[in-house]
Chain A
Amino acid sequence: MYAQMVKTGVDHIQSKEEMSPEERAFQDRVDQDIKIEPKEWMPEAYRKTLIRQISQHAHSEIIGMQPEGNWITRAPTLERKAILLAKVQDEAGHGLYLYCAAETLGVSRDDLMEQLNSGKAKYSSIFNYPTLTWADIGAIGWLVDGAAIMNQVPLQRCSYGPYSRAMIRICKEESFHQRQGYDIMMKLAKGSSEQKAMAQDALNRWWWPSLMMFGPSDAESVHSAQSMRWKIKINSNDELRQKFVDQTVPQAEYLGLTVPDPDLKWNAERGHYEFGEINWDEFYQVIAGNGPCNRDRLRTRVKAYEEGRWVREAADAYAAKKAARAQAKAA
Chain B
Amino acid sequence: MTDKKEWPLWEVFIRSQHGLAHRHVGSLHAPDAEMAIMNARDVYTRRNEGVSIWVVKASDIAASSPSEKGPLFDPANSKVYRHPTFYEIPEELGHM
A interface residues with partner B (beta carbon < 8 Å):
37, 39-41, 86, 89-90, 93, 96-97, 100, 103, 108-110, 113-114, 117-118, 165-166, 169, 173, 302, 305, 309, 312, 315-316, 318-319, 322-323
Contacts and interface: CB of A to CB of B under 8 A. Distances in A.
A188 B40 CA distance: 37
Interface in B63-93: 63, 65-67
Contacts of B9: 100, 103
14 contacts: A39-B65, A41-B67, A89-B46, A96-B28, A97-B43, A100-B26, A100-B27, A110-B6, A166-B26, A169-B25, A173-B47, A305-B1, A316-B5, A322-B32
A39 B30 CA distance: 23
Contact of A93 (B31, B46, B66): B46
- Secondary structure at the A interface, as helix, strand, loop or mixed, is helix
Interface residues of B, number: 26
A80 to B, nearest CB: 18
Given A90-B46, A110-B6, A318-B32, A37 B27 contact: no
B3 interface: yes
Contacts of B47: 173
Interface string B52-64: 0000000000010
A316 B67 CA distance: 37
B2 A117 contact: yes
